Amino acid sequence: MSYDVPIAPGETPDEISVEGPQSTAWPLWEVFMRPKRGLSHTHCGSLHAPDAESAILNARDAYTRLGDTASLWVVPSTHIHASSDPTSMFDPADDKPYRHPTFFEIPDEVGQL
């Protein structure tokens, strides 16, 4: 398949260790963009930059080339704190179905609610 290089006969795929040496390169930044006014910023990817100024400029070059952006945020990746295991974290909502409007049956003649 294109861009996926097959392993040649007689060669073995390289072992990849995920816990490699700490990177000494420019820090990683997460990029969020607002596609247009009125919408929220959404995550669109990441990039490397030495500082916030260059992260913003690089984000502009990397993620806004099609001119579909109204605003950018960059955040050092190390500052993103994520929720843990999604199954245990968000399952509880399952037993509160009354939070969803469709839980309540309202006769049509009541009109818009």
Partner 1 sequence: MAVEHQVQFDRTIEADEKIEPRDWMPDGYRSTLIRQIAQHAHSEVIGMQPEANWITRAPTLLRKAILIAKVQDEAGHGLYLYSATETLGISRDELQEMLHSGRQKYSSIFNYPTLSWADIGAIGWLVDGAAIVNQIMLQGTSYGPYSRAMVRICKEESFHARQGYAILMALAKGTDEQKAMLQDAIDRWWWPSLMMFGPHDSDSTHTEQSMEWKIKRISNDDLRQMYVDQTVPQAHYLGCSVPDPDLHFDEESGHWNFGAIDWDEFWTVVKGNGPMNRERINHKTKVWDDGAWVREAAVAYAEKQASRSTKIA
Partner 2 sequence: MTVATTTNTLVGLLVRHADDNTILCQRLGEYVSGAPELEEDLAVANVALDHVGVAMHLYEYAAELDGGEASMDNYAMLRSEREFTNALLVEQPNVDFAHVVARGFFFDVYQTLLWAQLSASTDERLAGIAARAFKEATYHLRHSRAWMLRLGDGTAESHRRVQAAVDAVWRFTGELFVAVDADSELVAEGIGADVAALKPEFDRIVDATLEEATLVRPSDPYQATGGRSGMHTEHLGHLLAEMQWMQRTYPGATW
The owner of tokens 């909502």 is 93
Which part of the chain contacts partner 2 (CB under 8 A), choosing from 55-63, 68-76, 78-86, 100-108? Answer: 55-63
Dmax of the chain from CA atoms?
74
Closer Cβ to partner 2, 53 or 91, answer by number? 53
User: Which partner, partner 2, partner 1, none, binds residue 57 by CB below 5 to 8 Å per kind?
Assistant: partner 2
Closer Cβ to partner 2, 61 or 108, answer by number? 61
- Minimum CB–partner distance for residue 75 and partner 2 (Å): 16
Q: Which long-range contacts (CB under 8 A, 24 or more apart) does 61-68 make?
A: 62/31, 63/31, 63/33, 64/33, 68/35, 68/36
32 binds partner 2 (CB under 8 A): no
3-state secondary structure of 50: coil
3-state secondary structure of 67: coil
Give the number of other CB atoms < 10 A from CB of residue 62: 13
Closer Cβ to partner 2, 62 or 89, answer by number? 62
The count of chain residues that interact with partner 2, using the rule CB under 8 A, is: 12
62 binds partner 2 (CB under 8 A): yes
